[in-house]
Chain A
């Protein structure tokens, strides 16, 4: 069909950074694009690949420490390209491990510093304990955000960036200042798994809407039946840590 509008979704480092159900985020974007009447084109970027020219949405997941070590050098190579796209308002979502690495730096437990690409003005320091459990935050744009966090890095926001949400229940960026995640232009970084997008369709539709507006000028959403998402949110928000 020639009148179908295509949106290209780039999955960053699915081979090394795909732990904790990050596929769920890709699947939700794929399906909701279809349900909104667009043709999703899902492509992957792994280390050593050539970075594609045509990208409308970028999704990046969490990883183990070993996965982070593997992609560090490669990410620095494509850092400028990602920053250019961010300045052009391309929507991006980075979870956990990649949230840390698109920041300025990550200081590990042994004091060694991993350089990030400084796309987001945040810094991460390895913490003494893992922050694990159900989490609820409140965001001005998206309302209540619900998910599950599992990280030992503590992330602190710089002056030029705002949090994605305020922690209602859970630890958030660092367990101290009540912030969770970060947002700059259409780029979202967060510690929330769960997976994030299935239970937070408002964020999924935001990423889709920004991508469609960038590419086609305007966006007319379809009404999607989100009853299961609402019920799952309601149950999850009442579960123990």
Chain B
């Protein structure tokens, strides 16, 4: 470990050593012991810090039963599973969340099929917008988002070029199709959520069912499939296939109420998503950020607090500058 430049960092290193050495299910390797000796000998203050964290840990373990039970009751009780998602009051709603690359947007914008009757909607960072579509459908467009619509005689076509949107679909005979890059989602009198971050797309169905078809960009994913309420279908470009899991889908719509929900998502994609709400862009430096996974709620209105707490959850250092916030991996 590198030399410390602050006491909190020294304590953190000492605590890391305690966590490693005290793990009875691990055997310290020769290399690890050598590293430990180097660290302990490097500075008298290191050894002091280690003794202080160790005394606290063993003092806690030795505290009386009542004290320990109270801590267990407050902090270590397994969370109860949340109620299954309530069915929507709305007859049919479609939420689409997408993070498309800039060049993908340019390509789509130039596509001839969209040119004549298409309508373009856009929002800036941190701003939502409500839109009434000509067929009576309602759209809540998320922050930093772009949406193209083209309503023809047979079809209502929508392309979410970047960002996020929540659709309340008016029932009629024309189909309602949302294009989200590698996947195309067709509403079958349903409510569903699509998240698109680059090539990675996740569809969560809250009500009814949807038909999901891979486009050319996802040729390896196989044929079309249908997903029903309570299911989440992810298309991971690295794996080249669908993954189906169960999810509390109404949480995925929390963005309308200042709640961005993430379930086991790569941190670099999480940062990209949050950037649609952050006045200062967040930037990750190491490729290892993609290996770190994040699950939890981010409130865009309280982004500073989330960033401050982030190093508690993941081995990261957050450096807030005037123009951007840089996130470094520390391990």
Is chain B found bound to chain A in the same assembly? no
B residues sitting closer than 8 Å to A (CB atoms) are none
